[in-house]
């Protein structure tokens, strides 16, 4: 395990990762850590405290991700991740079957970013006071569930060229766009709330999508907007 001040088994998180074997579990004690971590093995990395705000990972270099994941089947949970103000809090880079759960993000450019990453789970994360919350590029079949994005300057949830993703029970408030899909067909958006944004849910070039039982209230311009998104189904949504 890793403990603040170097009194644990390892002095920092990267040292623990470098020493670990595939499938190992790394436990991190509560404290303040300044690192840019490369995860290149299938590992579970968790804090020992249930409150993510007690175990803080600040990007040492704000132009590099706090966590850069390049291996499949990685689990990261229980951290506060901040300070990557020129890049990503957690970056899933060409990976699959990874789980990012129960983390708190603030002060990042994009808090969670996926590129060419498929079949991952992003669940129960809080994404606040950053430029963007969750950002997908060319990433398919991911489950994005129970996340809360608040007070992000641009997008709460952004998908580009990312088909067949499921967004379920998310909340996006006080940003420019709550949920934005571009050229991302076949996605399912259900049970989500977009409140007090400029746009609530905005789809362009994203046909054959399903929007079901969403609430889009008090958004300045549009609650729900679809452009060039033929064949999409809207069912049981509320917008005002």
SS3 16: helix
pLDDT of amino acid 3:
74
What tokens were used for 63? 């132009």
What tokens were used for 176? 């420019």
Residue 168: is its pLDDT beyond 90? yes
Determine how many CB atoms are found less than 10 A away from the CB of residue 203.
25
Rounded to an integer, what is the distance from CA 184 to the centroid of its chain? 17
Residue 121, strand partner residues:
99, 143
Rounded mean pLDDT of 27-34? 94
Q: Do residues 26 and 16 lie in contact, with contact meaning Cβ atoms separated by under 8 Å?
A: yes
B/e letters for 164-200, b = 16+ CB within 10 Å, e = fewer, are: bbebbbbbbbbbbbbbbbbbbbbbebbbbbbbbbebb
pLDDT of amino acid 143:
98
Q: What is the pTM of this model?
A: 0.97
Residue 183: is its pLDDT beyond 60? yes
C-alpha dist (Å) from residue 2 to 25, 48, 98, 225: 11, 10, 21, 47
pLDDT of amino acid 9:
85
**Tens of pLDDT, residues 31-64:** 999 999 999 999 999 999 989 999 999 999 999 9
pLDDT of amino acid 184:
98
Q: Which of 20, 71, 13 is nearest to 42 (CA)?
A: 71
**Tens of pLDDT, residues 139-156:** 999 999 999 999 999 999
């Amino acid at each position: 395990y890793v403990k603040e001040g170097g009194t644990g088994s390892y002095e920092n998180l990267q040292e623990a990762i470098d020493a670990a074997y595939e499938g190992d579990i790394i436990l991190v004690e509560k404290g303040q850590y300044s690192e840019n971590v490369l995860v290149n093995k299938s590992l579970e990395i968790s804090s020992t405290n249930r409150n993510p705000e007690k175990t803080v990972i600040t990007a040492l270099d704000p132009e590099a991700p706090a966590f850069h994941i390049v291996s499949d089947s990685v689990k990261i949970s229980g951290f506060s991740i901040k300070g990557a103000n020129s890049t990503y809090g957690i970056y899933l880079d060409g990976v699959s079957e990874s789980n990012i759960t129960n983390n708190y993000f603030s002060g990042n450019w994009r808090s969670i970013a996926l590129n060419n990453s498929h079949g991952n789970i992003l669940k129960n994360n809080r994404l606040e006071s950053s430029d963007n919350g969750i950002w997908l590029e060319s990433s398919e079949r991911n489950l994005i569930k129970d996340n809360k994005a608040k007070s992000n300057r641009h997008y709460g949830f952004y998908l580009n060229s990312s088909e067949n993703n499921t967004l379920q029970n998310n909340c996006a408030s006080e940003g420019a766009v709550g949920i934005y899909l571009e050229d991302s067909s076949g996605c399912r958006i259900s049970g989500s709330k977009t409140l007090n944004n400029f746009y609530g849910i905005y789809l362009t070039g994203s046909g054959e999508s399903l929007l079901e039982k969403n609430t889009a209230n008090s958004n300045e311009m549009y609650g729900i907007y679809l452009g060039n998104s033929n064949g999409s189904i809207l069912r049981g949504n509320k917008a005002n």
